[in-house]
Each structure stands twice: as structure tokens, then as C-alpha cells.
Amino acid sequence: MRTAVHTSVRRGATGAALAALVLGGGAVACSQGTDQSPEMSPAAAVAKAAKNTDDITSLHYRMAGTVPEEGKVTAEASMSMKPLAMSMKMTAADSGTDGPVEMRLVDGAMYIGGGAQAAKEMDGKSWIKFDMSALGADNGMNADQLGGGEADKNPAAESTFLTGSKNVKKVGTETVEGVKTTHYKGSITLAGLRKTLKGEKKATREQREKSLEQYEKMGLDGFTMDAWIDGESRTKQFRMRGTADKGPLDMTVTFLDYNKPVTVKAPPAKDTADLAEMMKGAQAG
């Protein structure tokens, strides 16, 4: 049973960990905005969009691309910041699962759903629950290993990284998801980004530092970044590309909605296996 648990958790955790790659920063928009003012410099436009992330309370977004070691990934998610809750469905081409992996974060617990395949391995239970505060190193598997340590990242923070570019430029105007935007691009180093964190608010700084650590673990020193900003100075979409020690990174995040109510419910108890209890039982045995 322990082997099956670890196998299922590992597969589900792939989706959870991948979510961390983009849970970290950016501005969003869904309005039919107009193009950026030609009088605004690229650096000023990017800085203004970054500032507008402060009023974001919830997100609905889509991500697609390639992640080091995991290959091609697609996902769609909704999350609220206060109270912290998230629901995500993700498909990783190399995960070995028979369909999307679903992850829910609600009331301080993370739930990873593996569908019918997980149910076959866990006595009919298709969901695994773990309380991030209950798991620790003594259990042989902790929340960080399962991706739980990254689940509280805010995907409205990473696209602000373009403010760390010293060569940001305007590429042109484009329509993204029916919204008129101005396309900006620049190159960024992780070392340079760290320097920009010094003047940020504590909460903002901590969120961005988490994301930087994730990229450092990949062996990424820097990347190029594109951002599509609408006429209300909110980023509609951003793309990050770079070459890490563990493979290429090429991820695009498109914001579909924001500041709308987000409701996340825990899966039915009858379909859920509590990982903390299972680990305790295995240790007692």
C-alpha cells in the first residue's frame, strides 16, 4: 500500500509542483482595453502594470508550455488570495496518468485527484489529502516534496519580473483573447531580479523570492520575457523562456478573469484518502 501511495502521490504531485512554476507574479486583465499610450515608455508601461497587481484578489488563468524534466504541460486554474484557495486541472504529457491531474487547496489542506487510475491503487479512493502543517520530515515526505510548499504562490506576481529587465522594448500591438494589447519584451537575470526585491513590500518580496528559488533549483540563470499589456495597464498574458540545467523552459500564462468570486470545495470524504493518517499507519506497522 505504501508503494501505491507514493506512486500516486508522485504522479499527482507532478501537477502540484508544476503549478508552482507559474504561481508567482503578474498582472491580469479581461477588459476590451485600448493600446498603451505612445507617450509611455516601455519601462514605464511595464512598471505601471506591475503596480496594478496590488489590487488583485482572485484569478482565473490558463498556462501552456514546456517545463524542465516534465515536458509539455497544459493547465487551467482559479484561485483566491484571501482566503487562500485554488482549483487546478493539469495535464503533463510525461506524467504517465490517464488524464488530467486535479489539485485543490482549501482550508489549509491540499487534495490531489488522480481519477480512475488512482482509485485502482488506493482501494477506490481517487483523491489524496494532506494537511500541509501536519506533514514533516519525520514522515519521509513533506509538503514541499509534494508541491504543497508552493501552492500558496500567487500567479499575479511573476509577470512583474519584466520590471527587472534593463532592455525592455515595445514589440508591437496584438490582440490576445479578444483584448487589444501592447507587446513588450526584455531579458532578465535572476541576480538582477533579486536586487529589485529590496524595495518591495514584505509579502510581495516573499512571493517573488519563492519563485526565484524554484528557477534556481532548475539551474536557470536568466530568461527572456514577453508581456502583453492592455489599455488599462494590466498584463493580459506573459511568456517566459530560458534554458535550465534540466531542460528548456517555455511557459505562457494567459489571464482569463480576475477579482471574481472563487469557490473551492473539498472532495467528498468517501473518495478521499488522508495521507497523514496513512503514513502514521504505515509507520506503526
Separation of alpha carbons 242 and 222, rounded Å? 7
| Structural domains in the chain, sorted by start | 2-284 (2.50.20.20)
For residue 116, name the pLDDT band (cuts at 50, 70, 90): confident
Mean pLDDT, rounded, for 205-227: 86
The pLDDT score that the predictor gives to residue 207 is 75
Question: What is the pLDDT at residue 147?
Answer: 42
Q: Is the pLDDT of residue 33 over 80?
A: no
CA atoms within 13 A on the CB side of 125: 21
Q: Is the dihedral of CA 37, 41, 46, 48 positive or negative?
A: negative
pLDDT in tens, 250-259: 999 999 998 9
Give the relative orientation of helices 275-284 and 2-22 as an angle to the nearest 10 degrees: 140
Write down the mean pLDDT value for the chain: 77
pLDDT above 90 (res 48): yes
CA distance to 9, 225, 284, per residue, from 91 (Å): 15, 24, 35
Find the mean pLDDT for residues 145-160.
60
Asked if the model's pLDDT at residue 152 lies above 80, the reply is no
From CA 18, how far away is CA 70, in angstroms rounded?
8
Confidence of residue 213 (pLDDT cuts 50, 70, 90): confident
> Residue 136 has what pLDDT?
45
- For residue 91, how many C-alpha atoms fall within 13 Å in the half-sphere facing its CB? 7
Mean pLDDT calculated for residue range 130-148: 49
CA distance 144 to 4: 20
